[in-house]
Amino acid sequence: MAECIAIFAVVLTSWLSGVPAAITTLLRRLTDGVLLPFQAIIPVLGGMDLSPLAALFVLQAIAHYVPTCPTG
């Protein structure tokens, strides 16, 4: 899933210094639609944002439990 890869990339770039601003801006634009609702609900604990982890769990659950179209 491309969304999961983008979320992992956002997490990695938040840990690394020297990442070009264009890359972080692009990744934020790609993932904010998924991450912002989780960030509104889950508080930052001990300086760690756990919303990407929750978003990944929900995306995986959706991919696992929602049936796919057999003709698509």
DSSP class of 68: P
Q: Which pLDDT belongs to residue 63? A: 86
- In a domain, residue 40? The reply is yes
Q: What is the DSSP string of 44-68?
A: PBTTB--HHHHHHHHHHHHHHHSPP
Domain that holds residue 38: 31-64
* Residue 56 placed within a domain: yes
- The predicted pLDDT at position 21 comes to 94
* Tally of structural domains, the chain: 1
* 45 assigned to some structural domain: yes
pLDDT of residue 72: 60
Q: How far, in Å, are 24, 35, 66, 68, 71 from residue 57 at the CA level?
A: 23, 12, 14, 18, 27
List the helix and strand counts (H, then E) for the chain. 3, 0
What tens digit of pLDDT does each residue of 18-71 get? 999 999 999 999 999 999 999 999 999 998 999 999 999 999 999 888 887 777
d(CA 59, CA 46): 25
Tell me what pLDDT residue 66 has.
86
